[in-house]
Amino acid sequence: MSIIVQKFGGTSVADAEKIGRAARRAIRTKLKGHQVVMVLSAMGKTTDQLVALANELNSSPPQREMDMLLTTGEQVSISLMAMALAAAGHEAISFTGGQVGLVTDAVHAKARIQSIDAQRIHSQLDAGKIVIVAGFQGITDEGAITTLGRGGSDTTAVALAAVLKAAECEIYTDVDGVYTTDPRIEPRARKMDYISYDEMLELASLGAGVMHSRSIEFGKKYNVPIHVRSSLTDTKGTLIVAETPGMEQIVVRGVTLKRDLARVELVGVPNEPGLAARIFARIAEHNIVVDDIIQNVYGHGREANIGFTTTLSDVKEACVICQQLCKEIGIQDVETDENVAKISIVGIGMKTHTGVASRMFKALGEAMINIQNISTSEIVIGCLIDKKDGEQAVKLLHEAFELDKSPENNGD
């Protein structure tokens, strides 16, 4: 009997009616002969409200307590779901992350999954129950409650699908799939039928809000087919799958804009071996995720400016750390800029096509959009630009790469 994992995001369980709808979906799947595991987010904007409440009492709440607080949101939705299923005459049981043995490291607010005890779930499924698991949360070896980072229920779902060897992990959300770009910015954005893990991973980490990027890493590593689809309709959404040769024919698959970025610049760093290592080791010790690193050497190689981008939520802490480093290493100054955004184009076809970067720069240049930094990987070209130019850049690049047109021969 195949297992299907169904994850419902906050908007898909926002009220009693929506919980009922999700319950009926799980029941239909079960009646088709599958074993069903549901992974739920907190109802609607619950997590945001809890964060706001915490901030009313403490502007930098202890992270352990923050995790304790935020995980309550998911407990509300899983227990209500079990009640809805029971009311419909179906046996169901809800579990917290800790109860299903979802063990994480001890990094509060952005914990990483270390292991999951699948046996507990298997035995309940074998007993004929629908199993409902709280998304986004885990437990440390010492028994402390952790969370996987905002949006982390996706990761819970895909990780569970991996350990349970599920046939598919369905991600139910308020959009009907993955789009070539954010349709709120570019109404001509197109829903894709397929996308590869690598492309989706880049889109997710570059700001396409659809999925938690770590969930895609899991999907790729354990080859879990992920189906992103709407909780309101029965139409097919977007399948995230392993790469096929035909996929490379499309040069650019999507355009993303990452807005919650800030740049930190260390000005006048002595240009000596080992300093970059020291700076970034310190930043890593504080679990600050660095996006791009930009270094310029000047003064006949004696000095350098080292800049990096990080998320807006981490920039204050990053700045404090860098100011300490200033004193220790003799760096002149630390500057921050919160008005930056990163516009990126993504496509595995870039591996085999040329002229992609110049086409991107031309489109931006013609619109007088200044590029502050360029970063590239095998399947991504990203430009750091002024935040105010972000939306226009999305539209320009969507047009320049004709993403509104349905590509041929690509399995779409």
**Is-contact 153 40, C-beta < 8 A?**
yes
Partner whose footprint covers residue 152, from Mg ion, ligand ASP, none (CB < 5 to 8 Å by kind) = ligand ASP
Q: Given the complex with ligand ASP, which of 9 and 390 has the nearer CB atom?
A: 9
> Nearer to Mg ion by C-beta: 151 or 237?
151
Subset of 158-217 contacting ligand ASP (CB under 6 A): none
Partners of 345 in the β-ladder: 255, 381
Residues 103-142 close enough to bind ligand ASP by CB under 6 A: 135-136
Taking the C-alpha atoms of residue 184 and residue 340, their distance in angstroms, rounded to an integer, is 20
The first and second tokens of residue 26, run together, are 């799980």
Beta carbon of residue 10, minimum distance to ligand ASP (angstroms, whole number): 5
Q: Rounded to an integer, what distance in angstroms lies between the CA atom of residue 156 and that of residue 162?
A: 10
Residue with Cβ nearer ligand ASP (12 or 310): 12
Complex with ligand ASP: residue 76 or 232, whichever CB lies closer: 76
Task: Determine, following the binding rule CB under 5 A, whether residue 207 of this chain makes contact with Mg ion.
Answer: no
Q: Which residue, 151 or 207, has its beta carbon nearer to Mg ion?
A: 151
Distance, in Å, from the CA atom of 269 to the CA atom of 124, rounded to the nearest integer, reads 59
Instruction: Return the half-sphere exposure (C-beta side, CA atoms, 13 A cut-off) of residue 86.
Output: 10
Q: Comparing C-alpha atoms, which of 76, 91, 96, 90 is closest to residue 19?
A: 76
For residue 150, the partner it binds in ligand ASP, Mg ion, none, with Cβ less than 5 to 8 A by kind, is ligand ASP
Strand 194-196, strand 238-241: pairing: parallel
Question: Angle of helix 213-222 relative to helix 153-164, nearest 10 degrees?
Answer: 10
Specify the 3-state DSSP secondary structure of 23. helix
- Binding residue for ligand ASP (CB under 6 A) from 151, 237, 349, 382? 151
Among positions 47, 71, 104, 146, the unique one binding ligand ASP when judged by CB under 6 A: 47
C-beta of 313: minimal distance to Mg ion in Å? 17
Question: Bridge partners of 269?
Answer: 304
In sequence order, the 6+-apart residues with CB closer than 8 A to the CB of 300 are: none
Q: Which is nearer to ligand ASP, 207 or 347 (CB)?
A: 207
Would you count residue 97 as binding ligand ASP (CB under 6 A)? no
Binding residue for Mg ion, selected from 9, 237, 347, 382, defined by CB under 5 A: 9
Residue numbers at the binding site for ligand ASP (CB under 6 A): 9-10, 41-42, 47, 73, 135-136, 150-153
